[in-house]
Amino acid sequence: MDFPFISTILLTPILAILLLFFIPPTSKKAIKLVAAIAMLISFLLTIYVYINYDSSAGGMQFVEKIPWISDLGVSYAVGIDGISLPMLFLTDIIGLASVFSSWNINKRPKEFFILLLLLIAGVTGTFIALDLFIFLLFYELVVIPIYIMVIVWGSTKRVSKEYAGMKLTIYLLIGSAFMLVGIVALYLQAFPPGMRTFDIATLSSAHLYGTLSIQFQIIVFFLMLLGFGTLISMFPFHTWSPDGYAGAPTAVSMIHAGVLKKIGGYGLIRLGLLILPAGAKFWAPLIIILGLANVIYAAYVAIVQKDLKYVVGYSSVSHMGYVLLGFAALNTISLSGAVANMVAHGIMSALFFAMIGYVYEKTHMRSVDQLHGLAHQMPKIATGFMLAGMSSVGLPGLIGFIPEYTIFVGLFAQYPILAIIAVSGIVFTAIYILRVLQKVLFGPRDSSFDRYDDAKGAELVPLFLLGTILILFGLFPQLLMAPINSGISPLGPFLERLSAAPSLLFTLGGI
């Protein structure tokens, strides 16, 4: 067998955690270095995998499989395809960036980095798992470190950090409880005893054998929608997201908004659509409506926000609306757009949160009313803000444009009128992003900010890393779209069959 790249990517942070246990809490430098090196190794390996992934061949590559609990049909199986590869890349780049953006953590750094690495490993695991059991295992692993990190290292503004942490955790756990019920039902229903398996690929073929009745698919997909929908902050289950990000420390906001949320979209595609196509077809109109609500409603709410983190929080809710729309339009173009948009939004929101984190760390202010003219004192941070803001607006040449455009094209084919409403989101996005940025960054120089430095040294790593990707994927979108296409385009015939099938119960009548 070849070198187990995927497992190494997963295990490097975990090994680093073990190593961290033996480093005394006082040697802060060493702790940060270990974390950074571990993430760097993971990141480099991910790049290697990204480059060596054969987009023209597509399918699952770098697969590793070790039987684990054979009685239950569980095996440790990891691998990547065109959908999970960009997600894996996203996880590792944001993981690396988040380690550096936490460089100035001085309160219990050892515990912080252990939890951070655990979080990253958990997220990585969910994206590479080919086994539903492993997926769930990592998925549940993720919630706990987040809770502790918010409670201990978070910040209190409009809502207390305890409230924020609790809200975030409870929301996600309740969502995942529904999902768990659905998955167990699926496991029991899909195959007769003895043949039962948690293997995602095998489960994806179950609907072909007719063991999953349409009613069953509808119910189970609904349960999954509750779980994954909460995670992707689908309206009206979105309120955890702004509050949670506002309370969380920078690194958690980055990972949460950047990657964790995307498990929702990823899960909807990988588990929802592929395993339960009839369920997806049935609920798609509802998802479209809710996705639209996300886009417009959250954008409106973002317009009146004063706290930077709330603006970005609601903005991420709004952007996730596009992902939901892309998913629910159920064609290859829109799905590609949805996956790409997850990556795009991940990078830009992570950059946003990193920059907000720096500003807050230095000035202890986050309110649009208090901050102004920061471009004078912090030109580099201002550059980061502008990059993130502009790609959030969907400016061509940055990462945000192509995914959004692709989603719109896919959506237009299905629901032209609704698509127009969705496109109007670009105007609202411009309004709230520019209002905030111009207020915070530009304007007369305020000498009371003169004592705050610009970002320097290790702090620049996230800006450089994420900014590079932002521009690189913006100028050369094929780098991003090629693997995604290899993952989505084989679904073409499947999706065509699905859309040719009669609509179930309620439809939007092609508007």
Identify which of residues 32 and 380 has a Cβ nearer to another protein in the complex.
380
242-301: which residues touch another protein (CB under 8 A)? 297, 300-301
Type of residue at 272: G
Q: Which helix (H) or strand (E) holds 66?
A: strand 61-69
127-156: which residues touch another protein (CB under 8 A)? none
**Measured in Å, how far apart are the chain's first and last C-alpha atoms?**
52
Rule CB under 8 A: choose which of 33, 72, 420, 501 binds another protein.
420
Kindly report the number of other CB atoms within 10 A of residue 425's CB atom.
Answer: 23
- From CA 345, how far away is CA 264, in angstroms rounded? 14
At closest approach, how far in Å is the CB of 300 from another protein?
Answer: 4
Rule CB under 8 A: choose which of 105, 342, 406, 463 binds another protein.
406
Identify which of residues 52 and 424 has a Cβ nearer to another protein in the complex.
424
By CB under 8 A, tell whether 416 contacts another protein: yes
By CB under 8 A, tell whether 413 contacts another protein: yes
Identify which of residues 108 and 376 has a Cβ nearer to another protein in the complex.
376
How many residues line the site for another protein (CB under 8 A)?
A: 57
At closest approach, how far in Å is the CB of 477 from another protein?
Answer: 4
At closest approach, how far in Å is the CB of 423 from another protein?
Answer: 5
- From CA 55, how far away is CA 215, in angstroms rounded? 36
Choose the stretch contacting another protein; rule: CB under 8 A; options: 86-94, 192-200, 244-252, 404-412: 404-412
By CB under 8 A, tell whether 66 contacts another protein: no
Identify which of residues 185 and 431 has a Cβ nearer to another protein in the complex.
431
Identify which of residues 196 and 345 has a Cβ nearer to another protein in the complex.
345
Question: For residues 308-339, b (16+ Cβ closer than 10 Å) or e, as one string?
Answer: bbbbbbbbbbbbbbbbbbbbbbbbbbbbbbbb
Identify which of residues 28 and 435 has a Cβ nearer to another protein in the complex.
435
Question: In this structure, are residues 340 and 484 in contact, taking their beta carbons and an 8 Å threshold?
Answer: yes
- From CA 221, how far away is CA 281, in angstroms rounded? 10
DSSP summary character for residue 71? G
Choose the stretch contacting another protein; rule: CB under 8 A; options: 98-106, 143-151, 266-274, 394-402: 394-402
Choose the stretch contacting another protein; rule: CB under 8 A; options: 35-43, 219-227, 245-253, 478-486: 478-486
Rule CB under 8 A: choose which of 492, 497, 506, 507 binds another protein.
492
By CB under 8 A, tell whether 481 contacts another protein: yes
Calculate the alpha carbon distances from 439 to 9, 370, 385, 433 in Å.
Answer: 41, 10, 12, 10
Q: Structure tokens of 472? A: 């690189």
At closest approach, how far in Å is the CB of 134 from another protein?
Answer: 29
Rule CB under 8 A: choose which of 18, 72, 434, 501 binds another protein.
434
By CB under 8 A, tell whether 181 contacts another protein: no
At closest approach, how far in Å is the CB of 479 from another protein?
Answer: 9
By CB under 8 A, tell whether 424 contacts another protein: yes
- From CA 147, how far away is CA 198, in angstroms rounded? 28
Please provide the size of the chain in residues.
511
By CB under 8 A, tell whether 419 contacts another protein: yes
- From CA 251, how far away is CA 241, in angstroms rounded? 15
321-380: which residues touch another protein (CB under 8 A)? 331-333, 336, 373, 375-376
Identify which of residues 156 and 478 has a Cβ nearer to another protein in the complex.
478
By CB under 8 A, tell whether 484 contacts another protein: yes
Choose the stretch contacting another protein; rule: CB under 8 A; options: 43-51, 176-184, 268-276, 406-414: 406-414
Dump the DSSP string for 309-342: HHHHHHHHHHHHHHHHHHHHT-SHHHHHHHHHHH
By CB under 8 A, tell whether 47 contacts another protein: no
By CB under 8 A, tell whether 460 contacts another protein: no
At closest approach, how far in Å is the CB of 498 from another protein?
Answer: 15
- Strands, DSSP E only, in 70-179? 74-80
Alpha helices per DSSP H over 364-450: 374-377, 379-393, 401-414, 416-423, 425-441
Question: For residues 431-445, b (16+ Cβ closer than 10 Å) or e, as one string?
Answer: ebbebbbebbbeeee
Residue 417 CB partners (closer than 8 Å, separation 6+) = 511
Type of residue at 11: L
By CB under 8 A, tell whether 401 contacts another protein: yes
By CB under 8 A, tell whether 444 contacts another protein: yes
Q: What angle do CA 245, 250, 256 make, to 5 degrees?
A: 50
Report the SS3 class of residue 76. Answer: strand
Binding residues (CB under 8 A) for another protein: these are 167, 170, 236, 239, 297, 300-305, 331-333, 336, 373, 375-376, 390, 393, 395-397, 401-402, 405-406, 408-409, 412-413, 416, 419-420, 423-424, 426-427, 430-431, 434-435, 438, 441-445, 477-478, 481-482, 484-485, 488-489, 492
